Structure 1
């Protein structure tokens, strides 16, 4: 079946023409500001041509021909995350809160996880899972750069462990694998690879994922189902399947930029002919009942090291490596890539601090401000000839945390992971 022909199940001829025309336009780009590291006024002073996202607080649209933000110093220092404008709406509407236990079931490369973490102010816990280990490692890279500590990054097939987490999560993100038609103008390979058979294949995967996720959701909890597909079969039809096989309720979503299928008004479409972003579908789902308030577990063990913990009360040690967490979690069935924030390696009576901890921590006993020229040299892997007292030192640039290096009194030794060394503008 031809692509536009199959959209006639819910779009009129006029709407299909408008969609066709929009797909011939350039794709849209946006950033999500990390207000823990940079204020809005500062961002707009540096990049005055940014435009506010129509829905998402701290979201901004930008022209990639004007700003190459992926190569910016401020991107490297975790001040913002580059995310497609429509994709930003998913976590924003779910609106996770500080004490929540959240699951992002298909999380890689981590945009929705990062946004949820920012909304939660780095509190509570998010299980950021992907069935592909290589893809899950991309979540780790973004978590470290952005200084996120409330994540447990995992590589699991949750269908094999779902009984361990029955009615466990307050909020769940199901950004389901799909045929990808919403990304046609962003990646023309998606268009060449599209087929109706692919839509039907993913529909069956999506049906199993949404039922499993609902099984994991607490009574009274909320989850969001999303795809980057225009297809009715992968969107409203999947929601209909959930409604036929559970007690789920659909939460209403209203905005002038949302498109609602009049024949089957479950969820909303973000169509590029209406919304300034790529094609997306999302639906907010609630499990009937009232969530029972649970008392937070408190950690009665004391850490033998005096470190800045940002208010986190739990710690875990894997071999010589120390990690901090804000909220306890049932970890037994999980294949863990990162549990909280990696503080560093315990070596006799000291901790060799990790890059992740440098980006996470709000303060540090010894700090040293460096210039832009010194920052560029440090990112190229060079040590810095600076007289400074011996020991570990947090390097900062414009009050932004760079890394925790080590001084021998005359030289600041470079400890930046080799994979992060690069040039930027």
Structure 2
């Protein structure tokens, strides 16, 4: 593994005597981990089912992750190729990458933005802590990456997410002062991923670090604009460059953001703005940041130490990461019932979703369509028994379910406007794969359990199966109780409805 000499000089300036230990850590095996999805594995029994199934497939679990109680470090096996992965029972995520959401501290009922969200690790982590209550906006500027984000939101059975594909500046025009909490896991030079990503090594240069720094500052300006008074903002990167880390923290403080004390876990160290000076001392040109260094007060330097943390791969079980925590001046309780300029998403007429109502009556358990309170119009507020609830609305011929209070989508480039329930086709309703993954066997009247991993993978590969003696209609296919998708039974055959674009052929 060969590194740019400038990179080595920078890290040596920051770490001093720890430099050799750091370099040695980059030549060791990367740490692999997964995070159990509490939206699906919401009991200790279900979590044990996941562990048992993966252990039988050759996965060895070791230590838990201090800052994520549902994260587990593992070795061996192939959890990413197991049917439970396709069922969204867990998300494979590097341990250090789980730390920013711990400090964001998401709670049910909040309005939260993940501004740079692809591929979706942190968004799905946030959603699992929101328990499908509140509003989660997951945004990604790159369309292809936004599509991957949307698929991961779907796979994890998330019901309260609006996935958008917007420039931060465009998003802030719609959501000024809207969010209770914002995570900015900013695009960066990726130094913290060198152990697991050779491309990040090849693409590194001092010029790219400075380019990333300017872009991060622009993104943060928009994030601050979208944060409600009293709201919390967590900024994070997977890089060691102080121009992308402590410098951005200094900018946030200069804009009036208030530092929040970070309680660090063993192995973490505080951020330090003097890391910028150490880079300067190597002879590197940091004209854009020198003025900031010269004007920083001792109080500001101390505030950066208090509110930020660094994760180094030679100190913890994980890759490199940085985070910093801030709040905006004000009272967040005043934001509880406020909406953006688009207001709320508009519901549909009861008659317009009659095919869905008929499908629900026949195949889903305990679902009802509730007219609006004033009775003047037959508006519907559709919910399934338990946690699946919200406002149904049409997006073309597609029926979606929005969480209560979801903002209107006018003027927004949307990849996924809530939970996709299905498609209206010539007076009938066909359920979506998203709906299957958002349901459990308790939510349906017909369920068929795959009896083995091979049977489950056969279903994921698009194979239909002959099963005698079942009732006609839609069946939720499961493995170990976790939903995989739909099949429709007729003539002794469970016809496979797993989406062709998602099939895995073995």
Shared fold by TM > 0.5? Answer: yes
Look up the match of 1:270: 311
1:186-335 alignment, distance < 5 Å:
186-262=196-272, 263=274, 264=301, 265=305, 266-291=307-332, 292=334, 294-295=336-337, 302=350, 304=354, 305-306=356-357, 307=360, 308=367, 309=384, 310-327=387-404, 328-335=406-413
Give me the whole-angstrom Cα distance separating, in 1, the residues matched to 2:264 and 2:148.
33
1:205-244 Cα deviation digits (max 9, x unpaired): 1111112101110111111101111111100011101211
Look up the match of 1:394: 476
Q: Which moved more, 1:247-256 or 1:346-355?
A: 247-256
Deviation at 1:313, TM superposition (A): 2.0
Give me the whole-angstrom Cα distance separating, in 1, the residues matched to 2:466 and 2:408.
47
Deviation at 1:46, TM superposition (A): 3.3
Q: Which moved more, 1:46-55 or 1:289-298?
A: 289-298
For the 8 Å contact 1:161–1:333, the answer to whether it is kept is: no
SS at 2:148's partner residue?
A: helix
For the 8 Å contact 2:118–2:148, the answer to whether it is kept is: yes
Q: Evaluate the alpha carbon distance shift between residue 360 and residue 311 of structure 1 in structure 2; reply closer, same or farther with a 3 A threshold.
A: closer
Q: Evaluate the alpha carbon distance shift between residue 330 and residue 108 of structure 1 in structure 2; reply closer, same or farther with a 3 A threshold.
A: same
Structure 2's unaligned 5+ residue stretches are 275-300, 339-343, 361-366, 368-383
Say if 2:35 is the partner of 1:32: yes
Deviation at 1:351, TM superposition (A): 1.5
Say if 2:156 is the partner of 1:149: no
Deviation at 1:35, TM superposition (A): 3.0
Give me the whole-angstrom Cα distance separating, in 1, the residues matched to 2:396 and 2:434.
18
Deviation at 1:298, TM superposition (A): 11
Q: Evaluate the alpha carbon distance shift between residue 250 and residue 92 of structure 1 in structure 2; reply closer, same or farther with a 3 A threshold.
A: closer
Q: Evaluate the alpha carbon distance shift between residue 161 and residue 41 of structure 1 in structure 2; reply closer, same or farther with a 3 A threshold.
A: closer
Q: Larger C-alpha radius of gyration, 1 or 2? A: 2
Q: Evaluate the alpha carbon distance shift between residue 241 and residue 140 of structure 1 in structure 2; reply closer, same or farther with a 3 A threshold.
A: same
Q: Evaluate the alpha carbon distance shift between residue 389 and residue 61 of structure 1 in structure 2; reply closer, same or farther with a 3 A threshold.
A: same
Look up the match of 1:94: 104
TM-score by length of 1: 0.93
For the 8 Å contact 2:95–2:317, the answer to whether it is kept is: yes
Structure 1's unaligned 5+ residue stretches are none
Q: Which moved more, 1:415-424 or 1:273-282?
A: 415-424
Look up the match of 1:368: 448
1:15-94 alignment, distance < 5 Å:
15-38=18-41, 39-47=46-54, 49-50=60-61, 51-63=63-75, 66-94=76-104
1:98-139 Cα deviation digits (max 9, x unpaired): 111111111110110010111111221211111111000001
Look up the match of 1:3: 7
Q: Evaluate the alpha carbon distance shift between residue 295 and residue 247 of structure 1 in structure 2; reply closer, same or farther with a 3 A threshold.
A: closer
Look up the match of 2:145: 135
For the 8 Å contact 2:114–2:123, the answer to whether it is kept is: yes
Give me the whole-angstrom Cα distance separating, in 2, the residues matched to 1:141 and 1:33.
17
TM-score by length of 2: 0.79
Number of positions where the alignment pairs a residue of Structure 1 with one of Structure 2: 421
SS at 1:394's partner residue?
A: strand
Deviation at 1:299, TM superposition (A): 8.2
Which structure's residues are more often helix, by fraction?
Answer: 2
SS at 1:284's partner residue?
A: strand
SS at 2:84's partner residue?
A: helix
Give me the whole-angstrom Cα distance separating, in 2, the residues matched to 1:233 and 1:105.
20
SS at 1:171's partner residue?
A: strand
Give me the whole-angstrom Cα distance separating, in 2, the residues matched to 1:364 and 1:198.
52
1:403-418 alignment, distance < 5 Å:
403-418=485-500
Pick the aligned partner of 1:350 from 424, 428, 442: 428
Q: Which moved more, 1:254-263 or 1:90-99?
A: 254-263
For the 8 Å contact 1:251–1:286, the answer to whether it is kept is: no
SS at 1:233's partner residue?
A: coil
Give me the whole-angstrom Cα distance separating, in 1, the residues matched to 2:224 and 2:175.
11
Deviation at 1:380, TM superposition (A): 2.2
Cα RMSD of the aligned pairs, angstroms, is 2.1
Give me the whole-angstrom Cα distance separating, in 2, the residues matched to 1:8 and 1:233.
16
